[in-house]
Amino acid sequence: MRIPTSVSVQASRRLPMHMALWLLDNRSLGQARGVKRLAGRLLKQPALDGVVVAQSRLGRLLCHDCDSQRDRRIGLELLRQAARAGDCQAQLELGRLYCQPKQREPALARHWLEQAVSRGSDEARTLLRELP
């Protein structure tokens, strides 16, 4: 039985993203710096192609695990793109980031937390109550 080329091409494009997500979600591997770097490389192309899950995970990775200001800016932009596309985790993460002293933007924090609450996030609801 022969698999159509378009199906195998689509599967080969998804494989790196699924592998990266598996690595990041693996308790024993997911915290290692080298594994995070590899996962970031695997997520880069899908994120650039507009895959919302890849944008969200790579954005969180860049915002939390990179020392470079440039990488953090890119991560923030990826999170914004994923949040605009309706990704609840990205909305929650943006809300959290905008609550922090470095990024302090209460109006934006409120906006993204409200979006996450509308998608059912209890954590966002708790953070929203704590906002002034």
Domain parsing of the chain, residue ranges: 1-85, 87-132
Q: What is the pLDDT of residues 27-81, one digit of tens each?
A: 888 888 889 999 999 999 999 999 999 999 999 999 998 889 999 999 999 999 9
C-alpha 92: how far from its chain's center? 10
Complete DSSP assignment for 42-97:
HHHHHHHTT-HHHHHHHHHHHHHH---HHHHHHHHHHHHHHHHTT-HHHHHHHHHH
The position carrying tokens 């693996």 is 26
Residue 36: partners with Cβ closer than 8 Å, 6 or more residues away:
24, 30, 61, 65
- pLDDT tens digits for range 69-101: 999 999 999 999 999 999 999 999 999 999 988
- The confidence score (pLDDT) of residue 82 equals 98
Considering the entire predicted model, what is its pTM? 0.85
Q: Which residue's entry shows tokens 């985790």?
A: 89
Per-residue exposure over 67-83, b if at least 16 CB sit within 10 Å of its own CB, e if not = eeeeebebbbebbbbbb
Exposure letters 91-111 (e unless 16+ CB within 10 A, then b): bbbbbbbbbeeeeeeeebbbb
